[in-house]
Structure 1
Amino acid sequence: MKIGIYCSLDAGAVKDRSIEYIGVDQGVTHLYQQGILPIIAIGDMDSIENKQLLEKLQVKLFSSIKDDTDTALAIDYALDQGYDEIEIYGVTQKRMDHFMAVLCLLEKYQDIKITVYDQWNKISVLNAGVHYIDKGDYHYFSVFAFDESVISLKECHYPLDHYHLKRSDPLCVSNQMNDDYAIIENNQSILLIQSK
């Protein structure tokens, strides 16, 4: 079961209008602007400008002084409701500290299918295995290890064969697919970033 989470920053239009959405702070506004009524609003609501939008919604209000980010609270809510696939919008621009927190969440929840979108990027985790990555709208792809992983890259400009990729190694940035897909094989979870 898939759900979307739209957070405070404007990340453009959602990719899948057929699913339900959680609005996080100003993300409620971004969803309303796309004609989407969130099933719930979650957060401390410190960034939402039009508080009247909350009147029609179920709201899970938190103090701004807390141990989790609003995004983490929204993910926890989605998982508690039985969702096992999550699309996240509005977390990758301006506040780099919040973006780093999202990367921590991707690592923490690497067994859950979570994809982060903005106007230029698609970010996800690839668990151990062989993956066929469709080019879609994205020109570049990069992979990064959470700890370390042995990876092979095929059908791309810069192939690798059983390369030992460590967390501190930026070798696999800005690769390109030869045609419409690339093949990535990895023995541990890695972070995949596809960029336009």
Structure 2
Amino acid sequence: MSMNGKRIIIVTGGTLGDWALGDIQSDDILVGSDRGALYLIQHGYKPDIAMGDFDSVTEDELELIRASSHTFVDCDPIFKDLTDTEMAFNWALAQQPAHITILGAIGTRFDHSLANVHLLRKGLEQGISCSIVDANNQIIVIQQSTSITRGDYTHISLLPLSMEVTGITLHGFQYPLHNATLQIGQSLGISNVLAASQGMIELETGLLLVIQSKD
């Protein structure tokens, strides 16, 4: 199956709910990472590939995942260097898809949540559009001027992922910035609002997290 031009949806083991089902389209390539594979199967989907150490499922659930996935890849939970989500993300990047969305990337483990956000930088470096989506947020990383659509989100926050981001100019936002610099540790870019249905973020250098949120 060719992945070119297709979206890859990675469902991993963070916080999931019915909201996640709305992000899945019929022609998406579905990757179940650890317990995320079980979520897909329990909701009537057959993962194109299930991968991970599967240390968060029972033996019976593991057998269900193995039997219900097109491809099954497991690994030793002790002798591995990557999280299950990063393993799945690396596989997805290698397929050169049109876009990668990670569902279940945010959860109760802040270390895993933050590490998953950092994966977006790896996608950006390889020129592949990537996002993290949960019930209330959509997260991307940009390093060049980007158009933003409001959609269902009420707020938009800008946080530097590099030590600083320079030359930030906002168009179509309630609180404008012109040739601004954001440094790690500043909250200047939190909780802005799009004044219209679409806005533009311009920047000169650095990596900028763009987080669209709704309460």
Q: Specify if TM > 0.5.
A: yes
Q: Cα deviations across residues 99-143 of structure 1 (Å, max 9, x unaligned)? A: 1111221223323211101010000112212x2211101000001
For structure 1, which segment, 5-14 or 38-47, has the greater mean C-alpha deviation from structure 2 after superposition? 5-14
- Is 1:190 the counterpart of 2:199? The answer is no
Q: Is 1:16 aligned to 2:16, yes or no? A: no
1:62-73 → structure 2 map (5 Å cutoff): 62-65=75-78, 66-73=80-87
Residue of structure 2 aligned with 1:132, choices 133, 140, 147: 147
Work out whether residues 7 and 25 of structure 1, in 8 Å CA contact, stay in contact via their aligned partners in 2. yes
Instruction: Flag the structure with higher helix content.
Output: 2
Counting aligned pairs with the same residue, the percent is: 33
Q: Which residue of 2 aligns with 1:32?
A: 41
* Equivalent residue for 2:137, pick from 98, 114, 121: 121
TM-score (norm. length: structure 2): 0.84
Contact 1:28–1:48, Cα closer than 8 Å, also in 2: no
Q: What code does the residue aligned with 1:88 have?
A: I
Q: Which is further off, 101-110 or 134-143? A: 101-110
Q: 1:158 aligns with which of 146, 152, 175?
A: 175
Q: Does the Cα contact within 8 Å between 1:5 and 1:87 map onto a contact in 2?
A: yes
Query: What does residue 60 of structure 1 align with?
Result: 73
Aligned pairs, number: 195
Task: Give 1:172's aligned amino acid.
Answer: G
Output the CA distance in 2 between the equivalents of 1:40 and 1:70.
Answer: 13
CA RMSD of aligned residues (A): 1.6
Q: Cα offset for 1:82?
A: 2.9
Using the size of structure 1 for normalisation, the TM-score is 0.92
Moved over 4 A (4+): none
**Structure with more of its chain in strand, by fraction:** 1
Alpha-carbon contact 2:133-2:139 (below 8 Å) kept: yes
